[in-house]
Amino acid sequence: MARKLFGTDGVRGTANTHPMTADLALRLGAAAGRYFRRDQSAAHRVVIGKDTRLSGYMFENALTAGFTSTGMNVLLLGPVPTPAVGLMTPSMRADVGVMISASHNPHEDNGIKFFGPDGYKLSDEAEAEIEQILESEIEPAQARHIGRARRIDDALFRYVERAKSTFPSHLRLDGLKVVIDCAHGAAYRAAPQVLWELGAEVIPIGVAPNGTNINDGCGSTHTAAAAEAVRQHGADVGICLDGDADRVMVLDETGAVADGDQIMALLAGRWAGEGRLKGGALVATVMSNLGLERHLGESGIALHRTGVGDRYVVEAMRAGGYNMGGEQSGHIVMTDYATTGDGLIAGLQFLREMVETDRPASALVRCFAPVPQLLKNVRYGTGADPLSAEAVRRAIAEAEAQMGARGRLLIRKSGTEPLIRVMAECEDEGLLGQVVDGIVAEVEAAA
């Protein structure tokens, strides 16, 4: 069953523009409520979290109206990281969890993503069924069965304690100076609190959300501000989260950045050495660098690749019995601790490595030499399909022939934005730029 509304990470778009309107959010809440409230005689509940976007208030109220109209009781968590929703859905015996966030996107965008009763994101099939209900006449609950809504005051405390519990109890962060960039997003209170309570000297930035500054020149997609803070304060390390705190980038004491591939290489090697890496494998997407694959292979660790999207990484992890995976973009999934990517917990694992090895961050952020990789994005208009253009297909075929066995080419549509992503890897950097620029030019002409 094909999906029309859901992308690779829920429903996403510009607030007050289809599909991200209050009206659709209300109907989507009602459809999801009807999908999960199959036993009409039992009490059912949903937990709803959000990041700090101004439009979050609108979508929170609309979703609440939709869910309660079908008899679901709503528990409002307020601003919490996405992984907190994955944690609290099963721990509060909810039938479904909802996170209102557009992750690393600018404040004008927002999104709605669902978690099942087990705390994992819904499958494509479940999302397709919700869409089917959405397109039909949604049966409301009888007046006496309308749901109730209430705020949960200790949601932040629950998540803080869970995050702290993933750090070894015999270790402390005393003596470490840590810059934490929360992107003015969902972890603006939780992340600094966790680090401080574990003993670190904390230098927080990106912790003054105003509804419109989320991800604005800060966070995991804009690390320059954190790098400057690391150098200015003489910090030992920097941790950069995105708007909903499910991604992380780590900075060493010079401001150099370790992306998700480098972090996964470090942690997978540590876990393999401890006998904790289930299946002796790491799960990552087709975007992960070829250098990561080579590095893992030298250590006897297999790399299993999936399509782009942390949800597909988690699905492959669960199917294969693996407990670590992620994306180059900074989603690090460790199912021993969380059901989805958790930037703060991944950052704590990096800090654990620093403490236990007594090595500086600069000795840990570069586990392997990446193969030169170039990614460029091309925005396209509504209704356009650049990848179907004959000139684009011809340019892609010519590029693949030019690179041959020396490189790798990946062209795809973003699942969260109207972008064509053109990515290539090649040992020959001159050829790399040539093939990417040639494809980009043809996509721009067709867009």
Q: Which residues are catalytic?
A: 103
Run of H or E residues at 14: strand 11-14
Answer for the pair 101, 52: CB distance below 8 angstroms, yes or no: no
Answer for the pair 315, 118: CB distance below 8 angstroms, yes or no: no
Amino acid at position 415, single letter: G
DSSP state letter for 187:
T
What are the strands, taking DSSP E only, across 349-406? Answer: 373-379
Helix (H, G, I), strand (E, B) or coil at 114: strand
Rg (CA), the chain: 22
Using alpha carbons only, what angle is made at residue 125 by residues 124 and 131, rounded to the nearest 5 degrees? 90
DSSP state letter for 245:
S
Amino acid at position 12, single letter: R
The alpha carbon of residue 302 and the mean position of all alpha carbons in its chain are separated, in whole angstroms, by 23
Cα distance between residue 326 and residue 82, in whole Å: 15
**Best CA proximity match to 207, nearest among 224, 190, 188:** 188
**Best CA proximity match to 191, nearest among 148, 251, 248:** 248
CA distances from 62 to 26, 30, 48, 79, 94 (A): 5, 10, 11, 16, 19
Cα distance between residue 325 and residue 319, in whole Å: 13
Answer for the pair 425, 432: CB distance below 8 angstroms, yes or no: yes
Answer for the pair 199, 173: CB distance below 8 angstroms, yes or no: yes
Beta-carbon-side half-sphere exposure of residue 376 (alpha carbons within 13 Å): 15
State how beta strands 96-100 and 44-50 pair.
parallel
**Best CA proximity match to 105, nearest among 11, 194, 179, 32:** 11
| Residue bearing tokens 């020149």 | 217
